[in-house]
Amino acid sequence: MLQINYIRENKALVVEGLKKKYFADAEQKVEEIIKIDQSRRETQHSLDFLQSEANQKAKAIGELMKQGKKEEAEKEKAAATDLRNKTKELQDFLTEKEEELQNVLVKLPNLPHASVPVGRTPEENITIYSSGEIPVLHADAQPHWELIKKYDIIDFDLGNKITGAGFPVYKNKGARLQRALINFFLDEAGKSGYTEVQPPIMVNEASAYATGQLPDKDGQMYYASEDKFYLIPTAEVPITNMYRDMIIKEEDLPIKNTGYTPCFRREAGSWGADVRGLNRLHQFDKVELVQIATPETSYAILEEMKKHVQGLLEKLELPYRILHLCGGDMSFTSALTFDFEVYSAAQKRWLEVSSVSNFENYQANRLKLRYKTDGKTQLLHTLNGSALALPRIVASILENNQTPEGIRIPKVLQAYTGFDMIK
């Protein structure tokens, strides 16, 4: 959430940033916020004055009572009662204004970093790096949704029977490949200094709010209404919320956590060839990286996280590219995002497999996540990245490594799978 002080002092910059994210009616919304804040501040000033006057009245009454001037004390008590009533009215009005301000602030997206390119659609993202050769497949090569049937490793029909569309059943060597990837990603994160956690896969409303899923993604998450719990769309949510309402010691920074979880996304309205097979699921597995850092170090850490994801893709021998996302294609909470895409040879297109983002202090403001430096308490920066999301990685491994004899397993995974081919 944006800080009201920053909005008030940098109105033009805020409007410019919101427009870069194609936020509707940016100028009008900012003016509305400043107007509500002005009313809130004026009310707070009046309330402070009345409370000071009430304190003085209380002292005066005490002195009059000591002096035995009961009649004068009673008059002052009547005046004090009137002050208390006015104070209560002002306090109620202040609470109303604070809630109104909060309700408007939470609907503002994060402001983009100065380096974010202008653009509204994915086609306007900028490719900043690419690596690996595009595989040339044999004549009878097939897309992964045909390969999984041929080798009996993932069953969409069975998942549809058990649950519904978008909930596949992994089996045989497909299940082992899935487990191998999870363990490989976690081991690599451990080598890079991340502490592994296994968080809950359901969160309460406060947690979903704190990392920005609410109110922005309300209706897009699976919701257990009786308990008021949300199934997580990413491990970012529970891992980052581990540090909600905390003041971190500066010497303990940066904090680095990794975790594997299943993830759940309704993806309402998604259909067609582009989301066929593993391209888009309602339940999928992902290993997430989360870091908490000082404002001075967060962008160097973002580069470090980007290099970590690059290393994973290179070890998996997958052709990939890195995109610098434009303002209109960034998430609600992000200040700067790099997307990683791998090439799917049978589908002949690029598939997104990771986003690495710096949220600056946007989430930290909601989380009340701070640290002390030079005797002052300041908001921290939060970052996260997928390392990696499995479905499209599996799709690309299956498609890019298919041969007439079977599907070759990348060398780095063979110690995890216990086999080098799916035949």
Q: Is the pLDDT of residue 112 over 80?
A: yes
Task: Spell out the CATH class of 4-105.
Answer: mainly alpha
The pLDDT, as a whole number, for residue 77 is 74
The pLDDT, as a whole number, for residue 106 is 94
Q: Is the pLDDT of residue 216 over 90?
A: no
With beta carbons less than 8 A apart as the criterion, state whether 340 and 128 touch: no
> pLDDT tens-digit profile of 1-39?
999 999 999 999 999 999 999 999 999 999 999 999 999
Q: Is the pLDDT of residue 78 over 80?
A: no
pLDDT band at 54 (very low <50, low <70, confident <90, very high): confident
Sorted by sequence, the CB contacts under 8 Å of residue 347 that are 6+ apart come out as 143, 144, 395, 399
> pLDDT tens-digit profile of 134-187?
999 999 999 999 999 999 999 999 999 999 999 999 999 999 999 999 999 999
The pLDDT, as a whole number, for residue 271 is 52
pLDDT band at 63 (very low <50, low <70, confident <90, very high): confident
**Mean pLDDT on 91-101:** 95
CA 99 from centre of chain: 24
Question: What single string gives the DSSP state of each residue in 197-232?
Answer: ----SEEEHHHHHHTT-TTTTTTTS-EETTTTEEE-
**Mean pLDDT on 409-420:** 98
68 three-class SS: coil
Domains of the chain: which residue ranges? Answer: 4-105, 122-422
Least confident of 97-106, 260-269, 397-406: 260-269
Q: Which two tokens stand for residue 156?
A: 């969409």
Question: What single string gives the DSSP state of each residue in 292-346?
Answer: EE-TTTHHHHHHHHHHHHHHHHHHTT--EEEEE--GGGS-SS-SEEEEEEEEETT
With beta carbons less than 8 A apart as the criterion, state whether 97 and 40 touch: yes
Where do we find the tokens 């304190």? 55
- Is 352 among the annotated ligand-binding positions? yes
The pLDDT, as a whole number, for residue 274 is 67
* Helix (H) or strand (E) segment spanning residue 61: helix 26-66
The pLDDT, as a whole number, for residue 122 is 96
- Is 355 among the annotated ligand-binding positions? yes
The pLDDT, as a whole number, for residue 86 is 87
Q: In what order do the strands lie in the sheet with 421-422?
A: 402-403, 406-408, 421-422
How do beta strands 255-264 and 195-196 pair? parallel
**Mean pLDDT on 391-400:** 98
The pLDDT, as a whole number, for residue 82 is 79
- Is 266 among the annotated ligand-binding positions? yes
* DSSP-assigned beta bridge partners for residue 259: 288
- Is 204 among the annotated ligand-binding positions? no
- Is 280 among the annotated ligand-binding positions? no
Q: Which two tokens stand for residue 193?
A: 């200094």
With beta carbons less than 8 A apart as the criterion, state whether 347 and 399 touch: yes
Q: Is the pLDDT of residue 80 over 90?
A: no
What phi, psi does 230 have (nearest 5°)? -110, 135
**Regarding the domain delimited by 122-422, which CATH topology (the fold level of the hierarchy) does it fall under?**
BirA Bifunctional Protein; domain 2 (3.30.930)
- Is 288 among the annotated ligand-binding positions? yes
> pLDDT tens-digit profile of 271-300?
555 678 999 999 999 999 999 999 999 999
How do beta strands 376-379 and 370-373 pair? antiparallel
Least confident of 49-63, 115-129, 306-320: 49-63
The pLDDT, as a whole number, for residue 273 is 54
- Is 99 among the annotated ligand-binding positions? no
- Is 267 among the annotated ligand-binding positions? yes
**Mean pLDDT on 84-95:** 90
* Residue 65 vs residue 314, higher pLDDT: 314
**Mean pLDDT on 293-321:** 98
The pLDDT, as a whole number, for residue 24 is 95
pLDDT band at 68 (very low <50, low <70, confident <90, very high): confident
Angle subtended at Cα 187 by Cα 183 and Cα 190, rounded to the nearest 5 degrees? 140
CA gyration radius for the chain? 27
With beta carbons less than 8 A apart as the criterion, state whether 244 and 370 touch: no
pTM for the complete prediction?
Answer: 0.92
Closest CA to 390 of 156, 212, 168, 191: 168
Q: What's the rounded Cα separation, in Å, for the pair 202 and 204?
A: 7
Q: Is the pLDDT of residue 393 over 90?
A: yes
The pLDDT, as a whole number, for residue 323 is 98
